Structure 1
C-alpha cells in the first residue's frame, strides 16, 4: 500500500499527491479533470473517467487449424461474461473453416453479441447491448418464471408421457443459460465500472448477490432438464396413480417454496426467508417416501424415479440457498447503514 500524508493548502483545502507512475500510465496532464467517487464503505475511488462512458476492453484470440473447438467456444463465453466489449479472433493465415460455425453458435447463445467486421484472417465481435436496458432484477425475475414453468411442465410430461414436451423443456434450458451469462457479464461490468454502477443504481454488493441468485436459479433449471431427461428414459412406462400423485404434490410444494423464496429475495424479507428455510425440510421426508416406493419397480425404472425425486428435493434445497442469501445480504447492508 502506498501511504501518503494529507497536506493543508491555503488554510482551508486538504490535498494529497497522486502516484507519478499512475499519472503517466493514464496519460493525465496538468489541469485534466479527475473524478472522485465516494463509495458506500466510506472509501474514495479516484478515476480519470469523468465522462461516465462505459469502459471499452478488447479480448484477442489467435486461432489455427489445431485449436480445440470446444475450448474456443468456452473462451468466447468466458470473454463475454468477463465484460469485454470487443472480441477479436485472428489467424496468421486464413481463418480455419470451423471458425465462423463456432462464432455463429456463440452469437446465438450470447445476448447482444454481433459480428461487425470480417476478413479472411480476422473476425470482430462487438457488444451492441446497452447494459442499462436490461436491469438485473428484471432478468432474474424472467429466469425464475422460466424455471418454474419448466418444472411444472416436467411433471406434466411425466404424467402424460409427453416426450415432445420433455424435449421442449430441455431446449428451454438454453434460455436460462443465456440469461445467467448476461447477469454474469453485467455483474462483472458493474464491479469494474462504478460509473455504470451509479447509472444502473446497483451497488457492487447487490451485483454480487444478484449473480449468486442467478447461479442458483440456473441450477434449478438444470434439475427441470434432468427430470425431463428421465421422463424420456421412462418412455412407454406409466407410473401408478398413487405414486404419480405423490410426485405431483411434492413438486408443487417445492415449486411453491421456490416462488416464495424469490418473493422474499425481491422484497429482502428476512423473516419470510427464515420461515421458508424451515419449510424446505419437509420436502426431504416426502422424497424419501417416493424413493421407498420406487423400490417396487425394476431397477431401470427405479433409478429414473429416484433421479426425479432427487431433482425435486434439490429445488427445495436451492430455495433455502436463495433465502440464506437474502438474510446474509440484508444483514450486511444493515451493518453498513
Structure 2
C-alpha cells in the first residue's frame, strides 16, 4: 500500500498523483480519462475508462477435450457461474458430443439468468443476462424462506393426513431453493471480483456476507425437509402408527415456528428475540433427541425412520439458533 499526500490546486480542487507503474501497465497517457467510484467503506476506486467493469465481460472458457464425464462438465459450469463469470464458453477441438450439449441445456435451465447466446458445432457461449441490481438480497432470502417453510409444512401435513403424495413437490421446491442459493453465492463472489457490484445490489459488504451465510443455512434446512419427506412413506398408510405420526407433527410444528421466528429476528435485527430463540432452540433440540430415545415397541425400520425425522428436526432447531446468532452479530455491529 502506498501513501500519497493530497495537494491543493486552488479554489475547491484537490490532486493526488497516480503511481507511474499503474499508468504504464494500463497504457495510459496524459489527458486519458479514468473512471472513479466511491465504495461503501469510504474508499475510492479508480480504473481506466476503457475497461468495462461489468460481469458480462468476465469470460471463462472450458475446453472439454479430454473431459468424458457429463457430471464433471455440469459441476464446472456451475462452478464458473457461482464464481461470478458473466460469460461461459464451452469449446471442443472437434464436434461437441450431443451429451455435452445436453449438459449445457440442463445448466441454463438450472442457473438463474443464464442463456445460450451463440452455438456452433464446436462451441457454446452462455451469458448471464441478469442485472445484479434487479435481484436484491433481502428479496431472494425471503423467497427462500417461503419455499423452505412450505416444504416443512408439507412434511407435517403428510404425516398428519396419513398421505405422502406431496413428497415429489417438496423435492421440486428444493431444486428451486438450490437455484436461489447458487444465485446468492454468485452475487457474493461478484462483489469480490468487482466492488462496483456492491452499489448495484444496494447492500453493505458485511451484510452481503451475512445474507450469503443465511442462504446457505436455509438451503441446508431445505435438504432436511427432503430427507424427512422421503421417510414419511414408511409412516403413512398405516393406522397403527397414528400416535407416532402425530407426536412427530406436534414437535415439527414447534420447530417450524421457531425457524420462522429466527428468520424474522434476522430480518428485523431483533437482538432480544434472537437471544430468546437461541435459548429455545437448545431446549427444542433436546426434546427432539429425547423423543428418539423414547421410541419403543416398534420395528427396527420404523424406529430408524423416526430417528431420522427427529434428527432432522433437531438439526433445524440448531440452524434456527445459527440464524438468530447472525441477527445478534448484526445488531452488535450497528
TM-score, structure 1 normalization: 0.90
CA–CA distance in structure 2, aligned partners of residues 270 and 50 of structure 1: 47
Secondary structure class of the residue paired with 2:294: helix
CA–CA distance in structure 2, aligned partners of residues 239 and 311 of structure 1: 23
Secondary structure class of the residue paired with 1:147: helix
Change (3 A) 1:4 1:53: closer
CA–CA distance in structure 2, aligned partners of residues 213 and 263 of structure 1: 12
Match of 2:31 in 1: 31
Aligned 8 A contact 2:65 2:92 in 1: yes
Match of 2:128 in 1: 127
Match of 2:5 in 1: 6
Post-superposition shift, 1:265? Answer: 1.2
Aligned 8 A contact 2:136 2:202 in 1: no
String of CA shifts for 1:180-224, please: whole Å, max 9, x gaps. 111111222233333332233212221111111100000110000
Match of 1:225 in 2: 226
Pairing 1:13-92 to 2, within 5 Å after superposition: 15-48=15-48, 54-55=54-55, 56-64=57-65, 66-92=67-93
Aligned 8 A contact 1:190 1:197 in 2: yes
String of CA shifts for 1:134-165, please: whole Å, max 9, x gaps. 11111110100010110110122233343331
5+ long unaligned stretches in structure 1: none
CA–CA distance in structure 2, aligned partners of residues 100 and 19 of structure 1: 47
Post-superposition shift, 1:105? Answer: 1.2
Match of 1:240 in 2: 241
Pairing 1:112-261 to 2, within 5 Å after superposition: 112-234=113-235, 236-238=237-239, 240-261=241-262
Secondary structure class of the residue paired with 1:294: coil
Change (3 A) 1:172 1:40: closer
Q: CA RMSD in A?
A: 2.3
Post-superposition shift, 1:241? Answer: 3.3
Post-superposition shift, 1:74? Answer: 0.7
Post-superposition shift, 1:239? Answer: 5.7
Aligned 8 A contact 1:65 1:96 in 2: no
Aligned length: 332
5+ long unaligned stretches in structure 2: none
Post-superposition shift, 1:305? Answer: 0.5
Change (3 A) 1:303 1:317: same
Secondary structure class of the residue paired with 1:240: helix
